[in-house]
């Protein structure tokens, strides 16, 4: 267990000193703030990170918009970055329900 922590701290130190990693982090933060502000204006209410991720998971229009703002073509990378940035999203009931809805295609499976 201790070795894993040491490996994580080494990777964190390497990333903290990597200018490309720092630049990517700043760009993603900036695009996240822009997209969050955009959604907040559209919905005419405050949006937290849980609601933002729920909207991105549920509606393809929001996915495409966020892809355009962040200039990341893969939605999985965007979701991964959001979960890394906000680990509390993994515990959210709203996010868990949205993921279950996405995984369930709505058809009933028959057992033979």
pLDDT digits (tens, 9 = 90+) for 2-32: 444 555 677 777 777 778 878 888 899 999 9
Compute the mean pLDDT over every residue in the chain, rounded to the nearest whole number.
82
Average pLDDT over residues 71-91: 87
Those residues whose C-beta lies under 8 Å from the C-beta of residue 102, and which sit 6 or more positions away, are 57
- pLDDT exceeds cutoff 70 at 60: yes
d(CA 100, CA 102): 5
Is 47 inside any structural domain? yes
% of the chain exceeding 70 in pLDDT = 86
pTM beyond 0.85: no
Q: Which pLDDT does position 16 carry in this prediction?
A: 73
d(CA 47, CA 74): 23
Range of the domain at 88: 2-103
Q: Which tokens sit at 46?
A: 């405050």
d(CA 25, CA 30): 9
d(CA 6, CA 57): 34
Is 66 inside any structural domain? yes
How many structural domains is the chain composed of? 1
Q: Which pLDDT does position 3 carry in this prediction?
A: 47
Q: Are 55 and 48 in contact (CB under 8 A)?
A: no
Is 108 inside any structural domain? no
Q: Are 68 and 37 in contact (CB under 8 A)?
A: no
């Amino acid at each position: 267990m201790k070795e894993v922590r040491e490996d994580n701290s080494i990777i964190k130190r390497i990333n903290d000193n990597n200018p490309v990693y720092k630049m990517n982090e700043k760009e993603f933060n900036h695009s996240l703030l822009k997209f969050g502000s955009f959604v907040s204006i559209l919905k005419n209410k405050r949006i937290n990170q849980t609601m933002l991720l729920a909207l991105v998971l549920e509606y393809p229009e929001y996915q495409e918009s966020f892809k355009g703002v962040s200039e990341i073509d893969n939605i999985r990378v965007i979701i991964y970055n959001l979960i890394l940035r906000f680990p509390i999203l993994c515990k959210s009931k709203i996010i868990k329900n949205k993921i279950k809805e996405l995984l369930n295609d709505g058809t009933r499976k028959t057992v033979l």
